[in-house]
């Protein structure tokens, strides 16, 4: 098949129009990105209720910043809190700052539930009422009446048994906070410690917002007296740490790899233009793939973008082969020489992703589409545009190709080399044995980018405040919010038993602050019985006249129909710390969550899973385990489909290369096995990101074998595949130096794999008549 430049002009212009049209269409619809790891799960496994709960809890975590200010001197610490709150409140990025409760609001806060004192009662009091322990309640009431503790609105007529006083002391399960001179002081802290909460106007990711807030906080930290400290919790500090780390790595690893590629291209070609030509198909591939993926899926997952862009980097191979061949052939003669190799190279890479489209994982399907579209766009760009773009280039053989060819000639060949054959066989057996005895490393920490000290600070803040976990919880779903509260109340005795058994420290539930209407009606009946049986004797003990008894009974009767509804509860100040426990309040399904304090071990998780399985409407959610299970599922799926894809590739390549097939596939195959075995030793197991990087290794390795075989081991083709491996090593292999775990795993796999492919490829070379070697 012969190609002439004039015949490609119309197709090249048409391809340009297609690229521009697709990108403009996607831009007009708007590019949307997704970062939720649960969005990668199949819909049948994703559990929409769990997804919504996770999204709401994440949004709650992202919307604010918790600041604990501690110091040895109480007065100095309060002054520091006041100064910090004033400065933060003046920032445009801050919506509200909560750090004190005004004196006028304190009394209102204390008494806002007083009207519901007969139906909303403390759990311990309720247990006494259920057990008819009325005498115990009466004795406590007498202690309250004659003791020094003030009950606020409580009085001998309004609340003779001190029910509301008990609720104030022990009910609600709020944070470990108390009011000290109107400030929010952390109770039971070793040093005077005060809380400042910041609500942001927008999301915490803009660098300008992070710098603005954290600079102010750092300024306050510098002014603190010796022995004082500031601890932070919130998405903002993790986002800022990630941005700082990314900036550092871009300025070192990114610029370093780009500089290394530029120097190599300059040394080989003596000009900068080839570098620009190499980057063109990669840029077109990424832009086209992003547009297509956005149009098909509606949004692009950030993991798809990150890894897809890397995998499309295989396309630089096409440009390098064209540019190297162009130095030896006229523009019109390049494609006829390399077209078969380019087509088979595209096929071998696309097949790896095409099979993934059949998987049940939306994330894999999206990555497959991105990679296929990107590779195809890059390939067409080289085929249709490069003959025009290089039309005026002169034939100018690359001197470096001969030097590199001579170096390759010094490598031992596997043909008739019994020692090399035995060495590779032994290495293969050892590698397979290592893989056979290995296990997957599917750990959420693979996605963790925050430094350990930041995570420790986060845990310390939540431990001091008594915050429950936001990653492990019981999901309660029912037809209405009332039914959710009833289900919570039904399951709480079992949770109390688990706490008593020491399986976890405690839990926080919405029903602890907002009893169901059914429970409130029961409570009112229990209190009524208490009044009927013991109010008269209580008043006789303290010698009150009979009219006081009638007044107290009248107070009870007037509250007979008064209930704390969810609508009324949400208007109360006391509800602010519990709003996040309601995921869905209305609709076909209402959803609430019960959160747990402290870390849950395997025994606790097993007990909670068993409890959830015993009742419909209960689901135990462990987001940490969910992400780990997701990584495992993806690892297994990618491994399985990669094997299927490459069996198909081998079948097709076998039809063309027959007896020489082993020369094409042996280097990437051995390199992949050796790489995985080395990773098992270095990183204690294989994970999803190792396998994803292996796609790049296999793609470049197969391309290397295909092009070398198609061109009869020509030196300039060896130069092209070597440059391809080198540029990929710099672009992706240097990520092994990254402190971000995902990027590190990807980078180290590429670095080891491509190095092995390049070392193994010369060993399977053949030398036939007509070779330029």
CA distance 124 to 105: 28
- Predicted confidence (pLDDT) at residue 767 exceeds the cutoff of 50: yes
Q: Is 572 exposed, middle or buried (0-12, 13-18, 19+ CB in 10 A)?
A: middle
> Mean per-residue pLDDT for 486-514?
91
Residue identified by tokens 């509200």 is 96
Bridge partners, residue 180, by sequence: 183
- The pLDDT of residue 312 is 61
Give 297-323 pLDDT, tens digit per residue.
Answer: 888 876 677 666 666 656 777 888 888
Asked if 1-30+271-396 and 412-437+624-773 have one fold, the answer is yes
Helices (H), 298-451: 302-312, 316-326, 331-354, 362-389, 399-409, 418-436
> Residue 34 in 3-state DSSP?
strand
What is the H or E stretch that residue 191 is in? none
**Contact present, 506 and 495 (Cβ < 8 Å):** no
> Mean per-residue pLDDT for 192-212?
83
CB atoms within 10 A of CB 537: 11
C-alpha torsion 487→488→489→493, nearest 10: 110
pLDDT above 70 covers a percentage of the chain that reads 90
CATH of domain 412-437+624-773: 1.20.1640.10
> Residue 768 in 3-state DSSP?
coil
Q: Is 662 exposed, middle or buried (0-12, 13-18, 19+ CB in 10 A)?
A: middle
Task: Kindly give the interhelix angle for 316-326 and 715-731, rounded to the nearest 10 degrees.
Answer: 150
Under the banding of pLDDT at 50, 70 and 90, the label for residue 288 is very high
DSSP letter assigned to residue 148: S
- Predicted confidence (pLDDT) at residue 152 exceeds the cutoff of 70: no
> Residue 594 in 3-state DSSP?
strand
Give 604-642 pLDDT, tens digit per residue.
Answer: 999 999 999 998 999 998 887 887 887 788 888 888 877
**Distance, first Cα to last Cα, the chain:** 26
CB atoms within 10 A of CB 135: 12
Task: Report the b/e string of 438-469 with b at 16+ CB within 10 A.
Answer: bebbbbbebbebbeeebeebbeebbebbbbbb
- Predicted confidence (pLDDT) at residue 771 exceeds the cutoff of 50: no
539: left (phi over 0), alpha (psi -120 to 50) or beta: alpha
Task: Report the b/e string of 619-635 with b at 16+ CB within 10 A.
Answer: bbbbbbbbbbebbbbbb
pLDDT above 90 covers a percentage of the chain that reads 24
49 versus 690: the higher-pLDDT residue is 690
CA distance 130 to 509: 21
CA distance 187 to 176: 5
Helices (H), 714-740: 715-731
> Mean per-residue pLDDT for 641-661?
85
CA distance 384 to 387: 7
> Mean per-residue pLDDT for 710-728?
82
Which residues, 6 or more positions from 101, have their beta carbon under 8 angstroms from its beta carbon? 109, 179, 182, 184
Residue 736, phi then psi, degrees to nearest 5: -60, -25
Give 102-143 pLDDT, tens digit per residue.
Answer: 766 666 677 888 899 999 999 889 999 999 999 998 888 888
Q: Tell which residue, 337, 329, 349, 314, has the closest CA to residue 383.
A: 337
> Mean per-residue pLDDT for 546-570?
91
- The pLDDT of residue 223 is 86
**Beta pairing, strands 33-34 & 300-301:** parallel
Task: Kindly give the interhelix angle for 623-657 and 661-683, rounded to the nearest 10 degrees.
Answer: 160
Under the banding of pLDDT at 50, 70 and 90, the label for residue 171 is low
Mean pLDDT in the chain? Answer: 83
Task: Domain 1-30+271-396: give its CATH architecture.
Answer: Up-down Bundle (1.20)
> Mean per-residue pLDDT for 48-73?
81
Under the banding of pLDDT at 50, 70 and 90, the label for residue 35 is low
CA distance 242 to 233: 15
Which residues, 6 or more positions from 678, have their beta carbon under 8 angstroms from its beta carbon? 752
Render 260-297 in DSSP notation, one character per residue: HHHHHHHHHHSSSHHHHHHHHHHHHHHHHHHHHHHHHH
Residue identified by tokens 């489909």 is 641
Q: Tell which residue, 477, 493, 518, has the closest CA to residue 120.
A: 518
**Contact present, 317 and 703 (Cβ < 8 Å):** yes
Give 428-481 pLDDT, tens digit per residue.
Answer: 999 999 999 888 888 776 666 678 888 888 888 888 887 777 788 999 999 999
- The pLDDT of residue 449 is 67
Q: Tell which residue, 666, 706, 716, has the closest CA to residue 339.
A: 706
- The pLDDT of residue 303 is 67
Domain limits, the chain: 1-30+271-396, 412-437+624-773
- Predicted confidence (pLDDT) at residue 162 exceeds the cutoff of 80: yes
Which residues, 6 or more positions from 405, have their beta carbon under 8 angstroms from its beta carbon? 715, 718, 719, 772, 773
> Residue 150 in 3-state DSSP?
coil
Give 247-264 pLDDT, tens digit per residue.
Answer: 677 667 767 777 887 888
> Mean per-residue pLDDT for 393-409?
81
Q: List the single range of 320-329, 460-469, 671-680 with lowest mean pLDDT.
A: 460-469
**Beta pairing, strands 300-301 & 229-233:** unpaired
Q: List the single range of 496-505, 548-557, 672-681, 698-707 with lowest mean pLDDT.
A: 698-707
Structure tokens at 767: 């030398």
C-alpha torsion 730→733→735→741, nearest 10: 170
What is the H or E stretch that residue 298 is in? none
Task: Kindly give the interhelix angle for 273-297 and 302-312, rounded to the nearest 10 degrees.
Answer: 140
- The pLDDT of residue 716 is 82
DSSP letter assigned to residue 64: E
| R_g of the chain computed on alpha carbons | 35
Sign of CA dihedral 625, 626, 627, 631: positive
How many residues are given for the chain?
773
């Amino acid at each position: 098949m012969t190609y002439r430049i004039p015949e490609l002009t119309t197709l090249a212009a048409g391809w340009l129009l297609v690229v521009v049209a697709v990108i403009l269409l996607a831009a007009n619809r708007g590019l949307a990105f997704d970062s939720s790891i649960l969005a990668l799960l199949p819909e049948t496994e994703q559990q929409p209720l769990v997804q919504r709960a996770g999204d709401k809890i994440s949004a709650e975590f992202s919307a604010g910043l918790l600041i604990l200010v501690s110091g040895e001197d109480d007065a100095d610490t309060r002054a520091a809190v006041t100064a910090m709150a004033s400065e933060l409140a003046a920032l445009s990025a801050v919506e509200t700052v909560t750090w004190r409760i005004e004196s006028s609001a304190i009394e209102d806060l204390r008494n806002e539930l007083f009207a519901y004192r007969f139906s909303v009662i403390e759990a311990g009091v309720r247990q006494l009422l259920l057990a008819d322990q009325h005498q115990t309640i009466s004795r406590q009431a007498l202690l309250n009446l004659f003791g020094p503790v003030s009950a606020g609105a409580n009085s001998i007529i309004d609340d003779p048994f001190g029910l509301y006083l008990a609720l104030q002391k022990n009910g609600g399960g709020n944070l470990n906070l108390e009011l000290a001179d109107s400030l929010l002081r952390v109770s039971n802290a070793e040093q005077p410690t005060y809380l400042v909460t910041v609500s942001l106007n927008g999301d915490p990711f803009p660098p300008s917002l992070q710098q603005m807030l954290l600079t102010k906080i750092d300024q306050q930290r510098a002014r603190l007296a010796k022995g004082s400290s500031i601890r932070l919790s919130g998405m903002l500090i993790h986002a800022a740490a990630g941005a700082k780390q990314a900036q550092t790595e871009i300025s070192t690893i990114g610029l370093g790899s780009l500089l290394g590629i530029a120097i190599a291209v300059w040394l080989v070609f003596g000009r900068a233009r080839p570098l620009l030509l190499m980057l063109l198909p990669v840029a077109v591939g990424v832009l086209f793939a992003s547009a297509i993926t956005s149009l098909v899926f509606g949004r692009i997952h950030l993991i798809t973008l990150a890894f897809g862009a890397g995998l499309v980097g295989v396309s630089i191979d096409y440009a390098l082969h064209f540019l190297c061949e162009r130095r030896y052939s006229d523009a019109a003669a390049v494609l006829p020489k390399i077209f078969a190799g380019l087509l088979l190279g595209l096929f071998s890479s696309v097949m790896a992703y095409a099979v993934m489209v059949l998987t049940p994982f939306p994330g894999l399907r999206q990555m497959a589409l991105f990679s296929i579209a990107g590779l195809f766009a890059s390939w067409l760009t080289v085929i249709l545009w490069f003959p025009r773009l290089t039309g005026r280039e002169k034939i100018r053989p690359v001197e470096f190709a001969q030097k590199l060819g001579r170096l390759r000639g010094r490598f031992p060949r596997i043909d008739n080399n019994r020692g090399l054959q035995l060495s590779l066989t032994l290495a293969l057996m050892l590698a397979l044995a290592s893989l056979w005895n290995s296990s997957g490393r599917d750990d959420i920490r693979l996605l963790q980018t925050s430094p350990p000290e930041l995570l420790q600070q986060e845990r310390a803040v939540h431990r001091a405040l008594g915050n429950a976990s936001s990653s492990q919880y019981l999901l309660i779903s029912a037809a209405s919010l009332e039914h959710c509260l009833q289900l919570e109340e039904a399951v709480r005795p079992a949770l109390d038993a688990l706490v008593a058994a020491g399986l976890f420290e405690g839990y926080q539930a919405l029903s602890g602050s907002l009893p169901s209407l059914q429970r409130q009606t029961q409570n009112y009946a229990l209190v009524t019985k208490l009044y009927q049986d013991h109010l008269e004797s209580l008043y006789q003990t303290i010698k009150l006249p009979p009219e006081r008894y009638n007044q107290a009974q009248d107070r009870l009767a007037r509250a007979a129909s008064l209930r704390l509804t969810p609508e009324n509860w949400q208007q109360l100040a006391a509800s602010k710390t519990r709003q996040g426990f309601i995921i869905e309040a209305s609709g076909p399904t209402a959803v609430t969550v019960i959160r747990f304090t402290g870390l849950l071990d395997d025994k606790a998780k097993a007990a909670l899973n068993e409890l959830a399985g015993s009742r419909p409407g209960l689901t135990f959610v462990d987001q940490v385990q969910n992400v780990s299970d997701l990584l495992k599922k993806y690892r297994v799926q990618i491994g399985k489909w990669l094997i299927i894809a490459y069996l198909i590739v081998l079948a097709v390549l076998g039809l063309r290369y027959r007896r020489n097939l082993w020369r094409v596939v042996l280097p990437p195959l051995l390199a992949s096995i050796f790489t995985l075995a080395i990773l098992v030793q270095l990183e204690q197991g294989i994970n999803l990101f190792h396998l994803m990087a292996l796609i790049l290794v296999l793609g470049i390795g197969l391309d290397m074998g295909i092009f070398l075989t198609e061109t009869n081991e020509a030196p300039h083709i060896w130069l092209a595949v070597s440059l391809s491996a080198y540029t990929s090593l710099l672009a992706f292999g240097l990520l092994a130096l990254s402190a971000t775990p995902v990027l590190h795993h990807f980078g180290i796999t590429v670095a080891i794999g491509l190095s092995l492919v390049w070392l193994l490829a010369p060993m399977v070379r053949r030398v036939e008549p007509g070779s330029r070697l």
